[in-house]
Structure 1
Amino acid sequence: MKDITLRQIEYFLAILDQGSLSAAAAASNVSQATMSAALSQLEKQLDVTLVARGPARRARPTSAGREFGIRAKSILATVTEAVDSVSEDSAVLHGPLRIGCIPTAAPRMLPGTASNFGRRFPKIDVSFVEAHPTTIQQMILRGEIDLAVMYRKQVQIEGLQKHPLSEVQLHAVVAADHPLADRSGVEIAELIDDPLILLDSPPTADLLIGQIRGLGHEPKVRWLLPNAETIRSMVAWGLGFSLANAVPHPEIRSFQGMRVRYLPVTNPEFSNTIVAVTMAEARVSKKVATALDVLSQVAEDTDPSRWTA
C-alpha cells in the first residue's frame, strides 16, 4: 500500500478548494514550502501529477487529480466522522458544510436552512452556492459541495443519490386579470394558445416542453429568460404565462407592484419532488444527515398549502 498520510490528503484538498498553493498554505496555517513539499510527496507516492501549476501561480487539478480528490474527500470525511464518534465532544457538530441549490428553489429553502443551522448548530460553518441544475450536479461529483437541492426530474447525471424532501405541484403563473386567474386549478390545454415564458435553466425548459408535447400540444414559447423575477414581471404585464414549481407567498407582486396568480396545474404528468442530492458512493456523514433533516423541515414549513394571504 502507498505510504500516504492524512495530512497530505488534507493539504491536497486545501489546494483544490483554494485554487493555489499560497492560498491553501495560508488557509491551513503552514508555509508555502510545507504545502508544496506535501503535494510533491503525494504525487511521488502515487506516481501521477495531481495538480497542474499555471500562470499567476494558479493550481488546477489534472483529470487524475479530480478523480483522486473525489475519493480523498470521502476518505477524509469518514475519518473525521470516526474521530468525532469517540470524541467527548461528539455531540457538537462543527466544521464546514457546503450546500448547493438551484436558483428557483433557493428563496424557499436557503433562508430557513441558514436560520436553522445558526440557531441549532452554530459550530457548523454553512456556505451556499446557487447554480443551474447541471452545474450543481457536476459540483457534487467533483466534491466541491456536500449536497444540493433541486427537483427530481432535473437529476440526469449518474452517480448521484436522491433524498426526497417534499412533493411539489407545478403551477401556471398568469396575470391577475387573466380570464382564468380566479380558477382553483388549470389544465395545460386551457393555456396552450397563450405565449409561454420559461426559465432558461437547463434542463428545466426542455423537460417542460417535452412534457407538454407528450400531451399532444405544441407550446408557443415566446421567451426563455434566466431570471424568475423578470418572468414574473413579464407575466404581470400580460405578455404570456409561465410555469413554476416554486410558489411564493400569495401577496408577492412583480417588480412594478403588479399582481400575478399561481394556479395549480392539474395534469398528473407534471408531478415532481424537491430532493436533496449527494454523491451516490459517499457515506452520509453526521453533518450531511443533519442537513437532510433540516432541509426536510424547511421544505415542510414552506409548503405552498401552508400559505395564508
Structure 2
Amino acid sequence: MKDITLRQIEYFLAVLDRGSLSAAAAASNVSQATVSAALSQLEKQLNVTLIARGPARRARPTSAGREFGIRARSVLATVTEAVESVNEDSAVLHGPLRIGCIPTAAPRMLPGTASCFERQFPDIDISFVEAHPTTIQQMILAGEVDLAVMYRKQAQIEGLKKHPLSEVQLHALVSADHPLAKRRGVDIAELVGDPLILLDSPPTADLLIGQIRGLGHEPNVRWLLPNAETIRSMVAWGLGFSLANAVPHPDIRSFQGMKVTYLPVTNPEFSNTIVGVTVEDARMLKKVTTALDVLRQVAEDTAPSNWAN
C-alpha cells in the first residue's frame, strides 16, 4: 500500500479548494514550502501529477487530480466521521466547511451565515461557492461542497437529500410606475401579457415557463439574462417584468437608482421552499447539521415579511 498520510490529503484538497499553494498554506496555517513538499511527496507516492502549476501561480487539478480529489474527500470525510463518532460530546467544531449556493439566494443566505460562523464557530474554516443549480448539485455528488442551498424545485438530480429551510413565495418584479405596482399581490394572469425577463440559470426559466403554461397562459418571454442586477435595471426602465423567489429589502433600487416593486404572486402553484441539499443516505457531520440550523435562522431573519418590521 502507498505510504500516504491524511495530512498530505488535507493539503492537496486545500490546494484544490483555494486554487494556489500560497492560499492553501494560509488556510492551513503552515508555510507554502510545507504544502509544496507534502504535495510533491503525494505525487511521488502515486507516481502521477495531481496539480498543474499555471501562470500567476495558479494551481489547477489534472484529470488524475480531479478523480483523486473526489475519492480523497470521501476518505477524509470517513475519518472525520469516525473521530466524531467517539467524540459526540465535543463542543468545538473545527475544520473546513464548504457551502455551495445558487447566485440568486446567495445575497440572502451567505452573509448572515458567514457572520454567524465567524462569531460562534471561529475554528470552522468556512468557504462558499456560487454556481447554477445543476452545477451545484453535481458538486455535492462529487464531494466538492459539503452542503448546497437552492430552491426545492431546482433540485432534480437523483441521490440528493433536501432539508427544508424556509417556505418562499414567488414575487413579480415590476417598475415603480407599473399600473399594478401599488397592489398587495398579483395573479400571474394579470401580468402574462407584458414582456417577461427571466434569469438564465437552468432549470429556473424552464420551470417558471412550464408553470405559467400549466395555468393556460403563454408567457411573452422577451429576454433571458444571466445577471439578476441587470434584470432589475431592465425592469426599472419599464422594459418588462420578472419573477423571483429572493426578495431584497424594499429600499433597494436599480443600478441607476430607480425604484422597483416586488409583488407577491398569489397563485398557489408557484409555492416553493429554499432547501439545504446533501448527499442522500450519507451520515452528516455535526458542522453540516449546525450549518443547516444557522441557514434556517438566516432564512427566517431575511423573510420578506420581516422587512417591514
The reply to whether TM is greater than 0.5 is yes
Q: 1:92 & 1:103 partners in 2: Cα distance?
A: 30
Match of 1:163 in 2: 163
Percent identity (aligned): 78
- Note the C-alpha offset of 1:87: 5.8
Q: 1:123 & 1:307 partners in 2: Cα distance?
A: 32
- Note the C-alpha offset of 1:208: 0.9
Deviation string, structure 1 residues 61-116 (Cα, Å, up to 9, x no partner): 436x5455334313312322433555699211122211111111111111111111
Change in Cα spacing, 1:53 to 1:103, as seen in structure 2 (3 Å) is closer
Match of 1:120 in 2: 120
Is 1:138 aligned with 2:142?
A: no
- Note the C-alpha offset of 1:247: 0.9
Match for 1:62: what amino acid?
A: S
- Note the C-alpha offset of 1:243: 0.4
**Bigger shift: residues 65-74 or 188-197:** 65-74
Match of 2:102 in 1: 102
> Unaligned regions of 5+ residues in structure 2, if any?
none
Q: Equivalences for 1:1-309 in 2 at 5 Å?
A: 5-7=5-7, 9-10=9-10, 12-14=12-14, 16-17=16-17, 29=31, 30=34, 32-41=36-45, 43=46, 51=50, 60-62=61-63, 66-84=66-84, 86=86, 90-308=90-308
Change in Cα spacing, 1:54 to 1:128, as seen in structure 2 (3 Å) is closer
Q: 1:16 & 1:182 partners in 2: Cα distance?
A: 50
Change in Cα spacing, 1:24 to 1:238, as seen in structure 2 (3 Å) is closer
**Bigger shift: residues 78-87 or 120-129:** 78-87
> Unaligned regions of 5+ residues in structure 1, if any?
none
Q: 1:111 & 1:84 partners in 2: Cα distance?
A: 28
Q: 1:100 & 1:73 partners in 2: Cα distance?
A: 16
Residue pair 1:21, 1:35 contacting (<8 A) in 2 also: no
Deviation string, structure 1 residues 111-145 (Cα, Å, up to 9, x no partner): 11111111211221222222221222222222222
SS at match of 1:299: helix
Match for 1:51: what amino acid?
A: L
Change in Cα spacing, 1:202 to 1:221, as seen in structure 2 (3 Å) is same
Deviation string, structure 1 residues 19-63 (Cα, Å, up to 9, x no partner): 67898689665364553333343x37xxxx683758779553436
- Number of residues of Structure 1 aligned to a counterpart in Structure 2: 303
Q: 1:120 & 1:32 partners in 2: Cα distance?
A: 32
Change in Cα spacing, 1:208 to 1:94, as seen in structure 2 (3 Å) is same
Residue pair 1:108, 1:302 contacting (<8 A) in 2 also: yes
Residue pair 2:198, 2:224 contacting (<8 A) in 1 also: yes
C-alpha root-mean-square deviation of aligned residues, in Å?
2.9
